[in-house]
Amino acid sequence: MKRIVVVNCSPRVGMNTGTLVREAGKGAEAEGAEVRIFDLYRLDNVHGCMSCFACKLAPNEGKCVYKDGLAEVLAAIREADGAIIGTPNYLGDASAGFRALYERLIFQSLTYKNEPRSYNERRIPILFIMTSNASEAAYLPLGYRKMLGDYEKTLEAFVGPVKVMISGDTLQVKDYSRFDWTMFDPAAKQKRHETVFPEEKKRAYSLGARMVRECRQGQGLFGNGQRPNDGELIGE
């Protein structure tokens, strides 16, 4: 049975990011995977890399040893056949929770040697979902596309092949009338939430299912482990 780890790096469990990663998890489950879900902000004591360098010393090379709430997530990813990770866009970047996971996930694999660059010999596919106020079309002009591309390249180098999914123009709050926010059109946000977001849930579901199918079929996972071209990075 394939094991898939789902990590919601939004503090809000039932909102946009949490919903989409869970849908992807349901897709994985429908293909027979065992799915484990972590809501990062519900874990105790999550820290980024503590710079102890224990992961560069025997017998722990390639393995973060710091014991906090994230240790269980890192251990689960280590055993998993795939990971579904979602984060909201915070100030043009991923959330601080995601950054903590990312620092620990990547840095443990980095050898600081010329060759090999990574301790990680077991590559697993990653579905990386970002949700944001900005629409997907705005990712290029706002520089978000580069930011996502940088995460993608590093995850690809140290963890495995990555598929990016963006859900933009999200419904940020259920009741906009409580706030004096002049930037948004609440009716348009609500309409998008009712018409487009359900389609995005379906897309997340099918990407989760695809991850497991391709794992099972022994295919290269999300495109043979090759770096996807830019066209594939956004949207597809």
List residues near ligand FMN by CB under 6 A.
10, 12, 15-18, 88-92, 131-134, 170, 172
Alpha helices (runs of H) in the chain, residue ranges in sequence order = 16-30, 69-79, 96-107, 139-142, 144-158, 186-216, 230-233
The nearer residue to ligand FMN, 109 or 170, going by C-beta atoms, is 170
The nearer residue to ligand FMN, 18 or 82, going by C-beta atoms, is 18
Q: Please answer whether residues 204 and 165 qualify as being in contact, where contact means their C-beta atoms are separated by less than 8 angstroms.
A: yes
CB of 223 to ligand FMN, least distance (A): 26
The nearer residue to ligand FMN, 21 or 124, going by C-beta atoms, is 21
Altogether, the residues listed in the chain come to a count of: 236
Q: Please answer whether residues 124 and 159 qualify as being in contact, where contact means their C-beta atoms are separated by less than 8 angstroms.
A: yes
The nearer residue to ligand FMN, 31 or 93, going by C-beta atoms, is 93
Helix axes 144-158, 96-107, angle to 10 degrees: 30
> How many whole angstroms separate alpha carbon 126 and alpha carbon 68?
23
Look up residue 202 and give its amino acid: K
